[in-house]
Chains A and B, each alone.
Chain A
Amino acid sequence: MEKKDSKFEEKVTELEKIIDELENGNIALEESIEKYAYAMQLAKECDEKLKKIEEKVNKIVSENGKIEDFDLEE
């Protein structure tokens, strides 16, 4: 299982946090610009992940615990 970067939800949550901080305006200018840059990067990453629509194949756990592809018979 690849886990090269943090989960999508974590990124979105972090993004929300940064935006709240920026909107509150209680941080130093330099810091706020850094955070802004980071927020934009996070947003871009999330967006890319969303746009990169990979057709996920449904999986099924078989009796012996093995994960196999699962196709719904229509």
Chain B
Amino acid sequence: MNDDKYLSVGALTKYLKYKFDTDEHLRNVFLKGEISNLKKHTTGHYYFSIKDENSKINAIMFSRNTKQLNFNPEDGMKVRIKGRISIYENTGSYQIYVEEMEEDGLGNLYILFEKLKKDLEKEGLFDPKNKKPIPKIPEKVGIVTAPTGAAIKDILSTIKRRFPICKTILFPALVQGENAKEDIANKIKLANNYDIDVLIIGRGGGSIEDLWPFNEECVARAIYESKIPIISAVGHEIDYTIADFVADLRAPTPTGAAEIAVPSMYDLEKLLGQYQIRASEAITKKINYSKLQLESITGSFVIKNPMVMFENKRQYLDSLIEKINRDIYYLLDNKKQYFKNIQKSYLFKNPKMIYENQKEKLKNDIIKLDLVNPLNILKRGYSLTYKEEKVITNIKNIKIGDTISIRLEKAKLEAKITSIKEEKHGKER
């Protein structure tokens, strides 16, 4: 096998490097993109990548070139680069050798914008609950903008057309350039010293750099701190600035701001007319209703025919009387019936029954009484002995010679005691 046809890596890389280095286009490259992975070496060389949404390229900038930079590169920065493309033989990777680099103004402004927007939002400067209501009918409108140019013209003519009785106060401010942000912020603060109902801040259309002061933090804070409600109107409808987010209301244009700030006189007159009509209708309705109410009261039958009330009472009374009569007859009938029943009863017809009953009972009672009569004992041969009408039960009360009487069943004897003999075995002493 012929070994000659195989290249070494070094040879291939050298060849490629030669191709790169001799290519006209690759010797003079203008590139824009975002810096990432920036490493600033102690030697003064910068190693980094340039990327966009799709691709990435390694970059190196030697110290002799970095010394020429008029800004301090950082990750995320948008830059515009002039350089050449070559290959670094050790790794075989191609890269851009940056000779000149400048900030990509728009790109960086965009980054700043996004960062400030995020920070201020987090801080609550855009919070709807911090927004002040815009008065519907202001008497005095303040304007912070340039004293010349389309914006102030548009605002004043719109206010004059819609609501000519409104007063306007202009706080002239620089609206572009280095000092604009401070001036705008100061004029917003100044306006707060005046008796103003609503403040319009803004400017006409322009490039993003022109509108930039309205993206500055100090302007945002001045808007946020304003006691007067603020309508922002910066540039055209498509332009959104930080000021728009902080303002109590964003108008698409200066003309739009004026339209929001003041009502149209025509609409207002129409509204007042409507109010008058509504008030009249409401009061007419109220009066008619009250009339109707009164009619319905006076029309009530008790007012129209008070006798009806008595008739009702009369009728009620009649019904009561009728009821009482009915009840009393019923009661009497009941009693009558009861009495009749008694009359019809057997006992009532044979009162002798009661007498016989009583007689029988009495006989029984007499028999019972007889059984306990002491005189009945005499019938059986016993007798009672008296001394001076007292029954003798104890011999101590008598002595020999006493006259005693003895009671038998059907006779009474007189006797004389001839002897007294005590019997010790008797039950009684």
Contact = CB atoms under 8 A, between A and B. Distances in A.
Interface of A: 1, 7-9, 12, 15-16, 18-19, 22-23, 25, 29, 32-33, 36, 39-40, 43, 46-47, 49-50, 52-56, 58-61, 65, 67, 70, 72-73
B265 interface: yes
B373 interface: no
B285 A58 contact: no
B272 A61 contact: no
Interface string B365-407: 0000000000000000000000000000000000000000000
A74 to B, nearest CB: 8
Contacts of B275: 15-16, 19, 39, 43
Nearest to B166: A56
B286 A50 contact: no
Interface residues of B, number: 40
A17 B175 CA distance: 42
A59 to B, nearest CB: 5
B20 interface: no
A36 B283 contact: yes
B138 interface: yes
A25 B165 contact: no
A47 B286 contact: no
A54 to B, nearest CB: 6
B279 A49 contact: no
Given A43-B276, A60-B170, A65-B190, A1 B195 contact: yes
Contacts of A47: 269, 272
Interface majority SS (helix, strand, loop, mixed), chain A = helix
Interface of B: 135-139, 147-148, 152-153, 156, 164-172, 190, 194-195, 197, 265, 268-269, 271-272, 275-276, 278-280, 282-283, 285-287, 289-290
Contact of B282 (A19, A55, A59): A19
13 contacts: A7-B137, A12-B136, A12-B272, A19-B275, A19-B279, A33-B283, A40-B279, A47-B272, A56-B165, A58-B168, A61-B170, A72-B152, A73-B148
Identify the interface centre among B148, B265, B278, B287: most chain A CB within 10 Å of its CB.
B278
Contacts of B268: 12, 46, 50
Nearest to B195: A1
Given A29-B287, A50-B265, A40 B276 contact: yes
B164 A55 contact: yes
A25 B168 contact: no
Contact of A59 (B167, B278, B280, B289): B167
Contacts of A50: 165, 265, 268-269, 272
Contact of A67 (B137, B152, B169, B269): B169
Contact of A61 (B167, B169, B283): B169
Contacts of A32: 282-283, 286
